[in-house]
Structure 1
Amino acid sequence: MAVLLRALPRFQGPAVWGRPLHRLWYCTGQGDSRRWVGSTSPTSQEKPPGTETEKFHTIYRFNAIRVLGYVSRLKLAQTAMTVIALPPGFYSYSQGLLTLNSLCLMSGIACFALAMLCWMSYFFRRLVGILYVNESGTMLRVAHLTFWGWRQDTYYAVSDMIPLTESKDQAQEVFVRIQQYSGKQTFYLTLRYGRILDKERFSQVFGTLTTLK
């Protein structure tokens, strides 16, 4: 996965910026009064009341997340095509048009594709794309991917977040876990390949790391 993260920035040329996934992660306008581009807004989960009008500041961004969303949807389509090909394969085998070895190969490829889809979906859905903090510093908004490769926003109370200074993970590692005291969900942050845009607010949420000083 670290090799993939190193390779992704090389493919983020001008053509990538205009693709449909771009509109899910970038906004128009200035400051925090920006609006989402496109007709469809990102889905939200457990959205607290009053957050519609509250200003949020971006404190972290991982630009390669939009490419990973595109990869996730391609993998989903590839897996669907592989699985759909199995019934015709079984029919061809029953008619003597396909050998047993070929049928086993098709089944193996389909099982491998499903296993890879489950693994990729599990990881991509927990990889943080953007982090926001509201004006008062009490609410954290986490932008990540859904199973279908689209953006989803999840909200957490800052007081429920476990500081990275209390985590066993090291900031120098490729992925660092961000967790809640309530243990609701674990996300993965990459400080090596992502960018901290507001160190002060980031430190207020996750603690002051030596790599940020």
Structure 2
Amino acid sequence: QAALLRAVTQWQRVAAWGRPLHGLCCSARDPRRWVGSRPPTLKETPSDTETEKFQMVYRFGAIRVFGFLSRLKVAQTALTVVALPPGFYLYTQGLMSLGSLCLMGGIAGFALAMLCWMSHFFRRLVGILYVNESGTVLRVAHLTFWGSRQDTCCPVADVIPLMETRDRPQEVFVRIQQYSGKQTFYLSMRYGCILDRERFTQVFG
């Protein structure tokens, strides 16, 4: 995961060479366009937070690339699995050997396993963090299985401060955990950009 993140970040830096400064990852302009053009879906969002204003406190610029990789992996796995029935038909007609059919099955199984592993990580990778004006609700923007954006809200009081976890800020990823144990997210302190350090410290210590 760390090697993949370093490769994606380096690619993004090369692609961004020569662009104006407002296009860098630390920019807070138009944050809802980081994954596709569809509006984000809300999950576990209290009704009273829908009209409340949220302040962006953290942004991970490479999340767009990870969203593209997630959609690409889903499409690649689907094509691999769809090729199995025609392969089995060719085998029954004597046009394909058993070894070739087993190879296709192995490739499809490996693609499914990799999809599950990558999806487990990508769906927990934080793209943007928001905190409401009163400092009581944390909104986490992350990826879905299909590579689109999804917002999840949780009470700030339920977030475990980083000093109470075993993770170190110098690591590539640190975990955002909750006392209730509902869901765990992965935050990149090394490659992400803290936009509001005061609010960020109030949440994570």
Identify whether the pair has TM-score above 0.5, normalized to the shorter chain. yes
Asked whether the 8 Å contact 2:9–2:191 carries over to 1, the reply is no
**What displacement does 1:39 show?**
6.5
Provide the C-alpha distance between the structure 1 equivalents of 2:9 and 2:164, rounded to a whole number of angstroms: 31
| 1:115-154 mapped onto 2 (5 Å cutoff) | 115-154=113-152
- SS of 2:48's equivalent? coil
Provide the C-alpha distance between the structure 2 equivalents of 1:92 and 1:41, rounded to a whole number of angstroms: 43
1:102-158 alpha-carbon deviations (Å, 9 max, x no partner): 001100000000000000000000111110000010000000000000000000000
- SS of 1:105's equivalent? helix
TM-score, normalized by length of structure 1?
Answer: 0.85
The residue type paired with residue 9 of structure 2 is P
The residue type paired with residue 51 of structure 2 is T
TM-score, normalized by length of structure 2?
Answer: 0.88
- Moved runs in structure 1, 4+ residues, more than 6 A? none
| Residue in structure 2 matched with residue 5 of structure 1 by the alignment | 5
Identity over the aligned pairs, expressed in percent? 70
- Structure with more relative contact order (C-alpha pairs < 8 Å, separation 6 or more): 2
C-alpha change, 1:139 and 1:73, in structure 2 (3 Å) is same
Q: How many equivalent residue pairs?
A: 193
C-alpha change, 1:86 and 1:125, in structure 2 (3 Å) is same
**What displacement does 1:195 show?**
1.1
**What displacement does 1:52 show?**
2.3
Q: Which runs of 5+ in 1 are unaligned?
A: 18-25, 29-34, 208-213
| 1:26-37 mapped onto 2 (5 Å cutoff) | 28=30, 36=32
**What displacement does 1:60 show?**
0.8
| 1:46-57 mapped onto 2 (5 Å cutoff) | 46-57=44-55
Asked whether the 8 Å contact 2:66–2:122 carries over to 1, the reply is yes
- SS of 1:140's equivalent? strand
The residue type paired with residue 71 of structure 1 is L
1:68-115 alpha-carbon deviations (Å, 9 max, x no partner): 000000000000000000000000000000011100110000000000
**What displacement does 1:40 show?**
3.2
**What displacement does 1:27 show?**
5.3
| 1:94-173 mapped onto 2 (5 Å cutoff) | 94-173=92-171
- SS of 1:155's equivalent? strand
The one of 60, 85, 93 equivalent to 1:87 is: 85
Q: Please say which of residues 38-47 and 87-96 is displaced more in the overlay.
A: 38-47
Provide the C-alpha distance between the structure 1 equivalents of 2:194 and 2:75, rounded to a whole number of angstroms: 33
Provide the C-alpha distance between the structure 1 equivalents of 2:65 and 2:116, rounded to a whole number of angstroms: 18
Q: Please say which of residues 156-165 and 37-46 is displaced more in the overlay.
A: 37-46
| Residue in structure 2 matched with residue 31 of structure 1 by the alignment | none
**What displacement does 1:182 show?**
0.7
